[in-house]
Structure 1
Amino acid sequence: MSDLDTRTDRTTVSAIVGILKQYPRRSVILVALALASGLAEGIGLVVLLPLLGLAAEAETQPSPELAAFVEGALDVVGLSPTLGLLLAFMVLALTAKAGLRLASQWHAGAASALAARDLRMRLINAMMRARWGFYVQQPTGRLSNAVASEAMRASSLFPRTTDLLAGGFTLVIYVGIAFAVSWQIALLSILLGSLMVVSLRRLVSIARQAGREQTALLRSLIARLTDGLYAIKPLKAMGREDSLQPALQRETEELNHAQRRQVVATSAMGVAQEPLIAFFLAIIAYVFLSVLGLPFTELLFLALIFQRTVRKIGGLQKHWQSLASIESALWSIEESIDAAEAEAEAPKRHGRAPELREAVELREVDFAYGQTRVLGAYNLRIPAGELTALLGPSGAGKTTIVDLVTGLYRPDAGEVYVDDLPLEQADLHAWRERIGYVPQEVVLFHDSVRANVAMYDDELTDEDVWEALEAAGAGDFVATLPEQLDTVIGEHGTRLSGGQRQRVSIARALVRRPQLLVLDEATTALDPETEQAVLRTVRGLRGSVTILAISHQPALTQVADHVHRIAPLDPQAPPPDATDPAGVTPAR
């Protein structure tokens, strides 16, 4: 488990510490570059001391001890503090600072890209390991938004943390120089800078709250839009697309309002700091010149030290505000990762791989969704190499049986067996690899026929794809397509007819030569003629693969070897009879 997963509270500090601990090597490099950049800027400032001494002919030089130290350091290497040399050192120091900041930003950018990739892959891997129940509870758009938007926003913590560290190290160096020059200026800088931070802290809170609202609204907006686009055809067909627009517009307006608040808070921070610094500087200049009679040359350097120090304090507050406005994206994607990991099904890969030779059986199986019981002491036998049909009304438990056979759900009592191997003791992943599944709602991608059948499996050849298409009765119509296997079939396969989409879906289920083919209401949405054609195709598969088909339509009985009619659970009904010679096994 990562350091981010062990957080006990959600603060800006914990976000910074967590992201740095996640990448210790890059963090050390970034800290070193930030420290070196601060030192280079400090050297550039210290070199001004001898320059001011030369300008004032050493009569009123500020901090003669520090200036003497600089001159002594030059003398050690045999250099004389001439005007040209001091100017050259100042230029070199500032150039070095720029180079170090560039290197720091490059490393921060690389770390940011790496963090975005890792956050996305952590979420994707967690989703792939999650049990089926997790997906039932999650809006698809929320997970899509986490992968696309939240990971990108959260990863920008890295470069902004780099700015914060660089500013912090530079501030420490400036305060050290200030104390070396004038402890009074140093204390005034710290005191007035802190006063400025306190007076503007409300702007940080506004930015943080606006960032949280943006994260929540983006998550809701993308989820709603994804659902709406999925249903856009019936909405437009009924002239109801306008009913979706108000909700999208409302959330868009709220998102716009939150973004404006963040922009205003960020801009106000920079705008408000400038007059405050100028006001403080004016007071110091008046006191030191008019009251204390400080020479102008010395005041000039002290004012520069004060202005740079207080500005650095203000800069830290700006960086902190920036981090506060995006930290919610990190917490949101971490929430999604935690939720998926909490639902990990951990399929057994150390058990025995099932080999379906005799039958799949449900023995005395109980199952409930919460308080609603669906199956009670249910028994079912699905003989190998034959077609078993489950018929019954909606809600009778047909799809639940399929989910139990495929291991998507576990029985509350009883067990599912493949031959004599309990599914609980089997290698669940290996069992699923032996299953071909055709859902009621055909899910096809906006891609080629090849990609839709092979599901991007590089191990499958064109010969494998054609063989599956032929077995599914789709070979003839695919051969007539303009680019055959390379033909793009449109979003959700909209360029194909309903029967053609269903056959491509069957080919996808067959392409890996499964031992068990599951047809989950696969012909429900088809017209009678197309349904009969698909059923003839299914009938032709008997013997080569075990078939479990569920439906609430009677046409399936024409091709089935075994038919089990299932009724909704009735607590008063007698226990099911698994030996019923008519093949009728009601659920109780």
Structure 2
Amino acid sequence: MFKDFFSSRFKETMQWKYINTFFKMMPQKVLTAIILMVVISFTEGIGLVLLIPLLQLVGIDVQQGSIGQISAYVNSIFAAFNIQPTLVIVLGIYVLVISVTAILYRWETIISLEVQTDFISKLRKKLYSSITNSNWLFFSSNRSSDFSHLLTDEIDRVGVGISQLLLMVADIMVTVVYVIFALELSGIITGLVFLVGAFLIILLNKKTESAHLIGQEISDATKKLYASTLQHLDGMKTIKSYGMQKRNYHDFSKIADEVADKQVKSITVFADTKLIFDIASAIVLCVIIVILVQILAIPAAVLLILLYLFARLTPKFSNIQHNYQYFINTMPSFANYLQILKKSEAAAESKQDQMENQSNEIEFTRSIKFENVSFSYDSNKPVFKDLNLQIPSGKTVALVGPSGAGKSTIADLLIGLVVPTEGNIYIDSTVLDASNILQWRDQISYVAQDTFLFNDSIKENLLLSNPTASEEEIWGALKAAAADKFVARLEDDIDTVVGDRGVRLSGGERQRLSLARALLRNPSVLILDEATSNVDVENEKKILEAIEKLHGDVTILLIAHRLSTIKNADVIYSIEKGKLLDLDV
């Protein structure tokens, strides 16, 4: 009953979840590392045993007391191989054993590092996949800096936990060998040392709890630092334009200092623990020497070996405590990982729409229909209710209305980023749902108001929409988007690197590249969401001329404020407060 109770309680702890996840992700490599640790412990034991014939060969009596039995056993092994133990032979075997141990330690270190890095990589890829496959509502309701923090710094800290866990297991195995050997020499003294060590660990339990709390504080502080860094760098143009550099630096410095303080606080807890453990261990060792020499009067050989063992055991106990504290310190990071992983998996788009090869084909030849569609981000505040509209194939359809009317939400519904709370969207006569959403998205290109370009060449930015496109097709898309002339004037034309978010280009140039990227995909439907709102009149004219040339070949959904943007649309829907007010044809 008590066993079941404690077993169930332990399985609920973050430590158990961590270890269980670790073993499940890479059982073979973990098993290899553990086997190497066992073998290393065995070679450490052989090295200890070889100390006995060495002591005998330098003239110390090893035939008295419990050590005499071990000495007789070692001599019988030499006799079985018909070897006369001389100083050279014993030292040669000792060097061989130490060399094998060193080689095994090297191998185990490399395997452990591979285990750690592979574990980090698997966690990172699993979380990234989960986040990218989550629905748009979940993704957009979280800060990107929180995801970045978790995918980088937090998972790195989880990896440190693996390193400390493996070191702790290795030290425990070697400690077990030392303890067994010490028990053979003096059960009473070894038992006393063990009890004192256990008492110290219990005594330092509060320090371990502090390590966990400080670990949570470090996670919270670094999370704020990530958010502040991305926010301030993204807003640098505004900061400079308002002359806010000094204030910006002050705010950033405050958060950076907070992170530094938490890390110093963490190291202080570890240093305090080591200080207490080292002083207590030194006192215990001195007491043991007095007991061994003045009270028990044990033989010199036993005394020397016990002192050697205890001198090796003391730092092992200290390391085990130290590694465990570090391990506990990383648990908040793993808890944060599990929390976001669980939430993102719960918010996953249905499994069907994540399949690479969906069986349900979807054809678009006639029209897209919104039939009694309702949608709400908040159940108490619907964006629109019972919306009905139609987008004929090959036509240019415009959505106009004030900000917050629901225009972009209609685009999100059409792409499948969000789903109706009521009603259906029909592509011809097929209901748009999880069984066909991927095929439908393959037929859509989307150009947003805020153009996003990667810090890469123009060519690579365009190939994102169609990785197999030829250079001729790239130039064709640039021409269709009225972007070919300005790209040709660049020193490296399509190989020109555009800078972070396209900072080396003007707003109009970025927008035309975004349109070219959309057209390179040869879409059936092109969605332009306020695509010209941030460009000047001249660039707007070029973009609209490019769109006009697509008329009849591509179904275009224009979302706009400016009347100049929609003047050539075939159908115009006016939306206000989630309602379709009128229809102009």
> Aligned residues: percent identity?
29
Q: 1:160 aligns with which of 157, 161, 164?
A: 164
2:432 maps to 1:429: no
2:442 maps to 1:438: no
Structure 1 residues 268-317: Cα deviation after superposition (integer angstroms, max 9, x where no partner): 33333322222111111112222333344432222222333343222211
Equivalent residues in 2 for 1:6-17, closer than 5 Å: 9-17=12-20
Q: Helix, strand or coil: the match of 1:100?
A: helix
Distance 2:266 2:28 in 1: 33
CA drift of 1:217 comes to 1.5
2:321 maps to 1:317: yes
2:208 maps to 1:204: yes
Q: 2:296 aligns with which of 287, 292, 302?
A: 292
Contact 1:190–1:310 (8 Å) recurs in 2: no
Distance 2:297 2:125 in 1: 65
Q: Which residue of 2 aligns with 1:485?
A: 494
Distance 2:81 2:563 in 1: 99
CA drift of 1:180 comes to 1.2
Q: Which residue of 2 aligns with 1:22?
A: 25
Residue type at the aligned position of 1:441? D
| Residues 434-443 or 263-272, more deviating | 263-272
2:540 maps to 1:520: no
Residue type at the aligned position of 2:406? G
Q: 1:560 aligns with which of 569, 575, 580?
A: 569
2:95 maps to 1:95: no
Residue type at the aligned position of 1:548? L
CA drift of 1:160 comes to 2.4
Q: 1:123 aligns with which of 101, 106, 127?
A: 127
Distance 1:388 1:556 in 2: 11
2:273 maps to 1:269: yes
Q: Which residue of 1 aligns with 2:217?
A: 213
Q: Helix, strand or coil: the match of 1:63?
A: helix
CA drift of 1:183 comes to 0.9
Contact 1:63–1:181 (8 Å) recurs in 2: yes
The size of the alignment, in residue pairs, is 570
Contact 2:446–2:527 (8 Å) recurs in 1: yes
Residue type at the aligned position of 2:96? L
| Residues 477-486 or 421-430, more deviating | 421-430
2:363 maps to 1:355: yes
Distance 2:71 2:522 in 1: 83
Residue type at the aligned position of 1:545? V
| Residues 115-124 or 345-354, more deviating | 345-354
Contact 2:465–2:520 (8 Å) recurs in 1: no
2:539 maps to 1:535: no
CA drift of 1:13 comes to 4.2
Residue type at the aligned position of 1:540? K
Residue type at the aligned position of 1:262? S
Q: Which residue of 2 aligns with 1:4?
A: none
Contact 1:391–1:551 (8 Å) recurs in 2: yes
2:180 maps to 1:176: yes
| Residues 410-419 or 51-60, more deviating | 51-60
Q: Which residue of 2 aligns with 1:340?
A: 344
Distance 1:483 1:422 in 2: 46
Structure 1 residues 511-555: Cα deviation after superposition (integer angstroms, max 9, x where no partner): 110000000011111223322222122111111100001112211
Distance 1:45 1:523 in 2: 79
Q: Helix, strand or coil: the match of 1:518?
A: strand
Q: Mark the CA change 1:484 to 1:157 in structure 2 (over 3 Å): closer, same or farther.
A: same
Distance 2:508 2:203 in 1: 69
Distance 2:525 2:107 in 1: 57
CA drift of 1:455 comes to 1.6
Q: 1:302 aligns with which of 306, 326, 349?
A: 306
Contact 2:560–2:566 (8 Å) recurs in 1: no
Q: Which residue of 2 aligns with 1:393?
A: 402
Distance 1:425 1:307 in 2: 66
Distance 2:414 2:361 in 1: 15
CA drift of 1:44 comes to 0.8
Structure 1 residues 200-244: Cα deviation after superposition (integer angstroms, max 9, x where no partner): 333323333222221222122112211221121112112234444
Q: Which residue of 1 aligns with 2:258?
A: 254
2:44 maps to 1:35: no
2:555 maps to 1:546: yes
Q: 1:365 aligns with which of 359, 373, 377?
A: 373
Contact 1:453–1:508 (8 Å) recurs in 2: yes
2:503 maps to 1:494: yes
CA drift of 1:59 comes to 6.0
CA drift of 1:62 comes to 5.5
Distance 1:358 1:13 in 2: 57
CA drift of 1:127 comes to 1.9
Q: Mark the CA change 1:268 to 1:84 in structure 2 (over 3 Å): closer, same or farther.
A: farther
CA drift of 1:351 comes to 5.0
Distance 2:466 2:210 in 1: 49
Residue type at the aligned position of 1:353? E
Residue type at the aligned position of 1:40? T
Distance 1:223 1:372 in 2: 29
Contact 1:385–1:543 (8 Å) recurs in 2: yes
Q: Helix, strand or coil: the match of 2:433?
A: helix
Residue type at the aligned position of 1:361? K
Distance 1:81 1:457 in 2: 75
Contact 1:105–1:162 (8 Å) recurs in 2: no
Distance 2:120 2:31 in 1: 19
Distance 1:239 1:524 in 2: 27
Distance 2:11 2:183 in 1: 39
Q: Which residue of 1 aligns with 2:3?
A: none
| Residues 297-306 or 159-168, more deviating | 297-306
Q: 2:196 aligns with which of 179, 187, 192?
A: 192
Q: Mark the CA change 1:246 to 1:135 in structure 2 (over 3 Å): closer, same or farther.
A: farther
Residue type at the aligned position of 2:494? L
Tell me the TM-score normalised to structure 2 length: 0.93
Contact 2:512–2:543 (8 Å) recurs in 1: yes
Flag structure 2 segments of 5+ consecutive residues without an equivalent.
1-9
Flag structure 1 segments of 5+ consecutive residues without an equivalent.
1-6, 571-575, 584-588
Structure 1 residues 25-45: Cα deviation after superposition (integer angstroms, max 9, x where no partner): 011111110011111111111
Contact 1:469–1:507 (8 Å) recurs in 2: yes
Distance 1:448 1:539 in 2: 28
CA drift of 1:451 comes to 1.3
Q: Helix, strand or coil: the match of 2:576?
A: coil
Q: Which residue of 2 aligns with 1:582?
A: 584
Distance 2:132 2:36 in 1: 39
Contact 2:66–2:184 (8 Å) recurs in 1: no
Q: Helix, strand or coil: the match of 1:565?
A: strand
